[in-house]
Amino acid sequence: MAIAPDGEHARARRTPLDGLFRLPIVQAPMAGGASGPPLAAAVSDAGGLGFLAAGYKTPAAMYEEVKQLRALTGRPFGVNLFMPQPPVADPAAVEVYAEQLAGEATWYDVPLGDWDRAADDAYEAKLAILLDDPVPVVSFTFGCPSAADVEALARAGTTTVVTVTSVAEALAAREAGADALCVQGVEAGGHQGTHHDDPRADGAGAGRGLLALLAEVRESVPLPLIAAGGLMRGAQIAAVLAAGARAAQLGTAFLACPESGASEPHKRALTDPLFTGTELTRAFSGRPARGLVNRFLREHGPYAPAAYPQVHYLTAPLRRAAAAAGDPQALNLWAGQGHRLARELPAAQLVGLLAAELDAARASLTSR
């Protein structure tokens, strides 16, 4: 009996994602500079859906990247926004962590960052720009937008996607009126997109595996799904499509591309045998995020407080100095569990190869 290789029943319905991509490949928005206009344009032009990451950028910088991307491609693309964060940080805990990092500041000869900042990432100002000059897709991480914000984007002609890591979050996104969900498994590199970070948890055991979570969300919420978490090959894309997703979102797979804005030490580390695995850690940002295990993560991860984005800003000068020095041992080397499968290829070529692998996997399934 032939197995439907690509979520046949899900694909038979029209969804808000139709027309946004020719290939079911979404390039993950990666805050910190990795996913800028060149990478997003290359992916969109190749038939996928490229994304810009607005996180940590000023509203003006975000808008400048949108204009640059429009000059590079006429294809659909998306912009990702970080939701404002509740005040969970304990200032005393951040001060203690700053004391623990004093030796790092001395070693890299930089001051620690000013961590006493607003935790809203200029969300309202960025949203206002995207309502005034709409883009095809806006996605959200670290929370769910209000129904009013989703409705305003819908009136502007924008498709909305909410990142979810649980069924409860998926139900909340549906209630808000989201068009689609990005279902993120624990295998994903970078930050876990949880809507509410539990300060009592260290993050090490948080999260659900992608396939288990995807099945649960699919049976609970009738929205189109984009699957994310550790996906590096076309056969894995085939697996999540067969499980009901409309597309797969890949981040680490694109980090080694020449169009990626990731630092050279970060790119090299993905396949460097010195780095043997990944862990979830609060060491660099105060929120659980998956990265390659390096010296900084080992030494400071056990003591890092649940204080996002305060820890992010505290460690920012250290990370910049390490990148400038070509030192991967104090960098936030965000990477998914499949990082060793990274390929140093132009983004368009990588998209084409992933599509060919996807076709081969589908053919293999249907021939059995």
- Give the angle subtended at the CA of 54 by the CAs of 345 and 337, to the nearest 5°: 45
Q: How far is CA 208 from the centre of its chain?
A: 16
Tell me the C-alpha distance between 362 and 368, whole Å: 10
pLDDT averaged over every residue in the chain: 93
pTM above 0.85, yes or no: yes
Name which residue leads in pLDDT, 197 or 322: 322
Q: Is residue 224 pLDDT above 50, yes or no?
A: yes
Q: Which two tokens stand for residue 309?
A: 């984005």
Q: Any idea where the domains of the chain sit in the sequence?
A: 8-366
Q: What is the pLDDT of residues 284-342, one digit of tens each?
A: 999 999 999 999 999 999 999 999 999 999 999 999 999 999 999 999 999 999 999 99
Tell me the C-alpha distance between 265 and 346, whole Å: 18
pLDDT value for 5: 39
Tell me the C-alpha distance between 350 and 355, whole Å: 9
Structural contact between residues 236 and 216, judged by C-beta atoms closer than 8 angstroms: no
pLDDT value for 2: 34
pLDDT value for 364: 86
Q: Which residues contact 161 (CB under 8 A, 6 or more apart)?
A: 78, 137, 138, 139, 140, 178, 179, 180, 181, 182, 226
**What percentage of the chain reaches a pLDDT higher than 70?**
95
Q: Is residue 279 pLDDT above 60, yes or no?
A: yes
Range with the poorest average pLDDT among 87-96, 197-206, 307-316:
197-206
Range with the poorest average pLDDT among 17-21, 189-193, 289-293, 364-368:
364-368
Tell me the C-alpha distance between 90 and 193, whole Å: 21
pLDDT value for 204: 54
List, in sequence order, every residue forming a beta bridge with 226; answer none if it has no partner: 182, 247
pLDDT band at residue 4 using 50, 70 and 90 as cut-offs = very low
Q: Is residue 205 pLDDT above 90, yes or no?
A: no
Span 215-232, mean pLDDT? 98
Q: Does 3.20.20.70 match the CATH number of domain 8-366?
A: yes
**Residues written for the chain:** 368
Tell me the C-alpha distance between 362 and 5, whole Å: 5
CA 53, 305, 278, 225 torsion-angle sign: negative
Element (H, E) at 311: helix 310-324
Span 90-117, mean pLDDT? 95
Please, what is the angle between helix 347-366 and helix 37-45, to 10°?
Answer: 40
The pair phi, psi for residue 278, each rounded to 5°, is: -125, 160
Span 19-32, mean pLDDT? 97
**What percentage of the chain reaches a pLDDT higher than 90?**
88
Structural contact between residues 178 and 160, judged by C-beta atoms closer than 8 angstroms: yes
The two beta strands, 289-292 and 190-191, are antiparallel
Q: Which two tokens stand for residue 103?
A: 């030796």
pLDDT value for 351: 99
Name which residue leads in pLDDT, 5 or 131: 131
